[in-house]
């Protein structure tokens, strides 16, 4: 092993290298000394966890070298014993697990480094297959099982304005010696979905850096590098409506001119942002074709898409693109701000109420409850919704009047409305006219620290001070704020710096939990959703994590609940409904659990799911305050509670001791908690009753009426 002279400060939990010796796979990684030498730690292990089946293999971790507070550690995998078992899986995710003497288990994902991990593969010659390490989109470390193939990556990539595509990278093939460049040649292949191929020659590059780091016995990587370029205008594609994957082929002259080909070539992460997308119009087979070079974000694979070019369609698309850029520009926001102020001086529409829920994405929550009550009891009001046009499908076919946010119609309607009703913040640049009454309903009883109470903000695109300043500035526009209980009132006053009228009424959205909690509604909803009538329902509704994001406004969520184990335990009696937070952008793949797991993340209103759920599993989401109104059992799957309570948000009360249900950290503990509830026939204990009296005492099915009577009674539409 080469001597390491300096250790960066941000490598804890990252992979260092993978070596193969004497039929052993030796995985080395960096850990803090305290993670493995703490007196309270009983053992530290490296876990291989199969992503689909949940099967786990563990290997002890031992210290190899120490560098101050950082230890270089290693785990050894006996390939004679475990190799065949690992090849039975598809994708293996690696974890570090620490077992404490008190029985507490802490687990974290192993992080990847910035090196070409794929060159550290294990090749099973007899079965002709590979166990290939790779970095996930979240920069975690995993292995994937492949049939034998070429490993190839692009490290540098440019496209000049004239359409000349230049790139450099490397490729390798199991058990092949790249020490003599005369024995082989690289080829670039564009392979269409129909099987059509376009080929370009590549120049071989000397790569001693790869050979020194990843040499595998006598097999050298000296000439595993390549360089190439091609003129996009010279590509003649006969199938204009097709996507061409970019691959690398190795023609082996010393093996009978055999050519082996890679899967879609991978782009290194740092290249993604600089090349998406680049389009050119070319002539191919007598037709004008638009070729677009791009990258599949999820898999970071390079491809070229071709489509017929039509000037009128292209002009419309280009104008639309320019309009979107113009609409989202700072100049447009300033213009909207000025126009908003001017239009706000026009005569007020005294019976107009503008509703919005979760930034215009849903017909749901407190605004929906108020809307439906007003529609029934005050039909003389003009009730309209401001919607995000990407979520228009949530509003169609419901008999709703709606306007697309930030459209010209919205601009000429919103400032003249007498009332605004929303459950989340408006953009800061929107001024509130003097004649407008702004009812902020908010969207949950606070467990996590809010706004001015937050110590640190980990969200993208802002800083702690900027976030607090903007939040308080927006809250200053609110005329009324709804509170579900006295506990929330105290927090809202302080965290939002809110000094106007608080309506302590209970949440309007919870009225339905009292007024429609009956067997007829339950069976109707099950039939609508396709939920078996003979199965009990588990609702899993976790919150989002401020520090898990791809970009500003696009959050991800790592699903830690082992659905395979849940299916094995409860598949005959239960179904699981998944409800992810609206800020989480990721789509979940639940195809392996058809008939057991249902994804309701995009369902418009969680209230329907509450009504049919026999049991709630959540973590720190405020959903449990609402679900408690049904007096049904809850389990708190808080696998990362130490990080969440100390780093991300912090809690307003002792959640670990006061949560109205068991707090667990593993899927196994979730399973045990469900079985315990079954043994007690889902009985609720005294701690639940205490919780109910503190947080749900105002809820009775009359909260909406209380709010409407206070805000709208006495105005022109009241009776």
- Over the stretch 514-531, which tens digit does the pLDDT of each residue have? 999 999 999 999 999 999
Question: How far is residue 502's CA from residue 482's CA, in Å, rounded to a whole number?
Answer: 6
Predicted confidence at residue 10, as pLDDT, reads 54
**Residue recorded with tokens 């090196």:** 115
Q: How many of the other CB atoms lie within 10 Å of CB of 460?
A: 14
Instruction: State whether residue 502 is helix, strand or coil.
Output: strand
Q: How many of the other CB atoms lie within 10 Å of CB of 83?
A: 16
Over residues 180-191, the mean pLDDT reads: 88
- Over the stretch 469-483, which tens digit does the pLDDT of each residue have? 888 999 999 999 999
Provide the token pair at 564.
């395979």
Residue 152 pLDDT exceeds 80: yes
Nearest Cα residue to 546 out of 469, 475, 454: 454
Residue 554 pLDDT exceeds 60: no
Contact 409, 455 (CB under 8 A): no
Q: How confident is the model at residue 322 (pLDDT cuts 50, 70, 90)?
A: confident
The contacts of residue 426 (CB under 8 Å, 6+ apart) are 356, 420, 474, 477
Q: What are phi and psi of 246, to 5 degrees?
A: -95, 125
The contacts of residue 190 (CB under 8 Å, 6+ apart) are 197, 198, 199, 235, 244, 245, 246, 247, 304
Contact 341, 418 (CB under 8 A): no
Over residues 360-377, the mean pLDDT reads: 95
Question: How far is residue 489's CA from residue 468's CA, in Å, rounded to a whole number?
Answer: 19
Question: Strand order of the sheet with strand 70-78?
Answer: 15-21, 24-32, 70-78, 62-67
Q: How far is CA 492 from the centre of its chain?
A: 28
Over residues 427-453, the mean pLDDT reads: 90
Question: Dihedral of the CA atoms 494, 497, 498, 499 (nearest 10)?
Answer: 100
Provide the token pair at 231.
């003129």
Contact 211, 222 (CB under 8 A): yes
Cα angle, residue 302 at apex, residues 299 and 303 outer, rounded to 5°: 115
Q: What are phi and psi of 604, to 5 degrees?
A: -65, -35
- Angle, helices 563-570 vs 667-679, to 10°: value is 30
Predicted confidence at residue 581, as pLDDT, reads 57
Higher pLDDT, 557 or 539: 539
Q: What is each CA distance from 304 to 155, 190, 232, 629, in whole angstroms?
A: 18, 8, 10, 54
Strands 164-172 and 151-159: antiparallel
Instruction: State whether residue 52 is helix, strand or coil.
Output: coil
**Among 53-62, 228-237, 346-355, the least confident range:** 228-237
Predicted confidence at residue 113, as pLDDT, reads 75
Predicted confidence at residue 3, as pLDDT, reads 35
Question: How far is residue 65's CA from residue 312's CA, in Å, rounded to a whole number?
Answer: 66
Q: How far is CA 100 from the centre of its chain?
A: 31
Question: How far is residue 55's CA from residue 154's CA, in Å, rounded to a whole number?
Answer: 33
- Over the stretch 380-421, which tens digit does the pLDDT of each residue have? 999 999 999 988 989 999 999 999 998 889 999 999 999 999
Higher pLDDT, 356 or 551: 356
Question: How far is residue 432's CA from residue 437's CA, in Å, rounded to a whole number?
Answer: 9
The contacts of residue 572 (CB under 8 Å, 6+ apart) are none
Over residues 211-219, the mean pLDDT reads: 73
Residue 267 pLDDT exceeds 90: no
Residue 583 pLDDT exceeds 50: no
Contact 344, 433 (CB under 8 A): yes
Mean model confidence pLDDT for the chain: 84
Question: How far is residue 369's CA from residue 378's CA, in Å, rounded to a whole number?
Answer: 14
Q: How confident is the model at residue 21 (pLDDT cuts 50, 70, 90)?
A: confident
Question: How far is residue 625's CA from residue 483's CA, in Å, rounded to a whole number?
Answer: 13
Contact 365, 421 (CB under 8 A): no
Cα angle, residue 267 at apex, residues 222 and 289 outer, rounded to 5°: 120
- Angle, helices 311-327 vs 330-343, to 10°: value is 70
Over residues 48-72, the mean pLDDT reads: 87
Q: How confident is the model at residue 490 (pLDDT cuts 50, 70, 90)?
A: very high
Share of the chain above pLDDT 90, in %: 40
Question: How far is residue 228's CA from residue 164's CA, in Å, rounded to a whole number?
Answer: 10
């Amino acid at each position: 092993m080469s001597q390491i002279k300096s250790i960066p400060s941000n490598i804890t939990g990252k992979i260092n290298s993978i070596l193969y010796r004497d039929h052993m796979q030796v995985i080395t990684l960096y850990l803090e000394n305290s993670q493995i030498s703490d007196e309270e730690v009983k053992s530290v292990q490296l876990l291989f966890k199969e992503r689909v089946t949940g099967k786990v293999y563990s290997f002890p971790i031992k210290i190899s070298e120490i560098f101050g507070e950082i230890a270089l550690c290693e785990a050894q995998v006996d390939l004679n014993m475990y190799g065949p078992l690992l090849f039975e899986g598809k994708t293996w995710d690696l974890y570090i697990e620490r077992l404490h003497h008190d029985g507490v288990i802490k687990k974290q994902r192993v992080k990847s480094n910035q090196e070409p991990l794929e060159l550290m593969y294990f090749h099973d010659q007899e079965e002709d297959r590979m166990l290939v390490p790779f970095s996930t989109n979240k920069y975690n470390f995993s292995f994937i099982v492949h049939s034998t193939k070429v490993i190839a990556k692009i490290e540098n990539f440019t496209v000049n304005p004239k359409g000349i595509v230049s790139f450099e990278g490397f490729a390798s093939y199991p058990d092949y010696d790249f020490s003599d460049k005369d024995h082989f040649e690289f080829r670039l292949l564009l392979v269409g979905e129909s099987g059509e191929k376009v080929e370009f020659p590549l120049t071989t590059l000397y790569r001693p850096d790869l050979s020194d780091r990843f040499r595998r016995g006598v097999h050298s990587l000296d000439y595993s590098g390549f360089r190439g370029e091609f003129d996009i205008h010279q590509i003649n594609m006969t199938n204009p409506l097709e996507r061409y994957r970019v691959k690398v082929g190795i023609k082996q002259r010393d093996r009978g001119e055999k050519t082996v080909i890679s899967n879609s070539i991978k782009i290194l992460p740092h290249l993604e942002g600089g090349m998406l997308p680049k389009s050119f119009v070319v002539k191919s087979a007598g037709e004008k074709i638009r070729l677009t070079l791009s990258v599949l974000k999820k898999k970071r694979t390079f491809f070229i898409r071709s489509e017929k070019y039509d000037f009128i369609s292209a002009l419309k698309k280009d104008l639309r693109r320019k309009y979107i850029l113009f609409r989202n520009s700072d100049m447009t926001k300033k213009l909207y701000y000025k126009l908003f102020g001017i239009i706000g001086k026009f005569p007020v529409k005294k019976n107009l109420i503008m509703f919005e829920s979760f930034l215009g994405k849903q017909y749901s929550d407190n605004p929906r409850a108020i809307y439906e009550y007003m529609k029934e009891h005050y039909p003389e009001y003009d009730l309209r919704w401001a919607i995000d046009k990407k979520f228009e499908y949530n509003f169609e076919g419901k008999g709703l009047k709606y306007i697309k946010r930030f459209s010209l119609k919205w601009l000429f309607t919103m400032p003249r409305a007498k009332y605004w009703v929303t459950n989340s913040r408006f953009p800061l640049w929107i001024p509130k006219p003097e004649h407008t009454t702004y009812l902020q309903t908010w969207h949950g009883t606070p467990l996590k620290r809010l706004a001015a109470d937050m110590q640190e903000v980990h969200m993208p695109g802002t800083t702690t001070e900027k976030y607090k300043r903007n939040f308080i500035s927006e809250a200053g526009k609110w005329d009324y704020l709804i509170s579900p209980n006295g506990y929330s009132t105290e927090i809202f006053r302080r965290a939002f710096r809110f000094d106007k009228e608080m309506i302590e009424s209970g949440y309007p959205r919870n009225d339905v939990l009292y007024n429609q909690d009956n067997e007829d509604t339950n069976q109707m909803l099950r039939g609508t959703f396709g939920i078996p009538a003979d199965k009990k329902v588990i609702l899993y509704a976790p919150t989002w994590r401020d520090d898990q994001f791809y970009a500003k406004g696009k959050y991800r969520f790592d699903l830690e609940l082992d659905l395979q184990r849940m299916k094995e335990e409860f598949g005959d009696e239960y179904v699981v409904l998944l409800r992810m937070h609206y800020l989480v952008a990721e789509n979940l793949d639940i195809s392996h659990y058809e008939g057991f797991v249902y994804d309701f993340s995009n369902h418009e209103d969680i209230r329907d799911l509450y009504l049919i759920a026999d049991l709630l599993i959540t973590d720190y989401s405020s959903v449990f305050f609402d679900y408690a109104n049904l007096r049904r059992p809850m389990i708190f799957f808080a696998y990362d509670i130490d990080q969440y309570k100390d780093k991300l948000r912090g809690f307003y009360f002792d959640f670990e001791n006061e949560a109205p249900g068991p707090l667990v950290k593993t899927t196994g503990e979730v399973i045990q908690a469900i079985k315990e509830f079954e043994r007690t026939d889902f009985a609720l204990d005294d701690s639940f009753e205490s919780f109910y009296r503190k947080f749900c005492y105002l809820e009775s099915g009359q909260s909406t009426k209380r709010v409407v009577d206070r805000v709208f009674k006495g105005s022109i539409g009241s009776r």
